[in-house]
Amino acid sequence: MAKAGGVVALVLGIVAGLFGLVMYYSCTATLLGHCFQYGYQSVGFLGMVFGGVLFVVGIVLLALPEKEPTRPVQYYPPPVAYFPPPQPRRQPPAPAQAPPQPSDQKFCPGCGNRYPAEYKVCPRDSTELKTVQ
Ligand SMILES: [Zn+2]
């Protein structure tokens, strides 16, 4: 979450800088309406420096691309790995010989027997054979 960290650092930097500024100009001793001692000058200066650094850090964090550091890098295997090696496309075995279909047979309307397709008439009663549907 670089963005959130950046925002936090930015805000903290501003606050610390303002705080340091106030400290820096805090008057700890006045004489006749004039301030002659700034007792927290060093502390305020440190606060301003600290705030400035935090401010810069926040800006840098905000400027960073989102997909940055802390998360463990996810390794994407090359997409080729997802595809099985090309297999030789096996042709489906063509039916060597069409199995005898009922339509290849003929039947005799007279006696009801079935005969091969090459028969034209029934050998029994000489009735003309019909194709089996
Ligand atoms: Zn017949």
**How far apart are alpha carbons 1 and 71 in whole angstroms?**
9
- Number of Cβ within 10 Å of residue 42's Cβ equals 11
Does residue 107 form part of some domain? yes
Domain check: are 6 and 58 in the same one? yes
Centroid of ligand 1 to alpha carbon of 133 (angstroms): 17
Identify whether 18 is part of a domain: yes
Paired with 116 in beta bridges are: 105
Per-residue pLDDT at 40: 84
| 101 CA to centre of ligand 1 in angstroms | 20
Whether residue 85 lies inside any domain: the answer is no
Q: How many domains does the chain have?
A: 2
Closest by CA position to 110, among listed 124, 89, 93: 124
The strand pairing partners of 37, in sequence order, are: 29
Q: Cα of 99 to ligand 1 centre, how many Å?
A: 24
Question: How far, in whole angstroms, is CA 9 from its chain's centroid?
Answer: 31
Residue 96 placed within a domain = no
Mean pLDDT by groups of 10 residues along the chain of 133 residues? 82 89 84 82 88 91 72 64 69 65 78 92 94 79
Output the CA 124–ligand 1 centroid distance in Å.
5
- Asked if residue 6 and residue 59 are part of one domain, the reply reads yes
- Give a yes or no: residue 7 inside a domain: yes
Asked whether 125 and 113 are in contact (CB, 8 A), the reply is no
The tens digit of pLDDT for each residue in 9-20 reads: 889 898 988 888
Q: Is the residue at 80 inside a domain?
A: no
107 Cα: distance to centroid of ligand 1 (angstroms): 8
121 Cα to the center of ligand 1, angstroms: 8
CB atoms within 10 A of CB 108: 20
The range of the structural domain enclosing residue 109 comes to 102-131
Q: Is residue 48 part of a domain?
A: yes
- pLDDT value of residue 68: 55
3 C-alpha vs ligand 1 centroid, how far in Å? 94
Residue 87: inside a domain: no
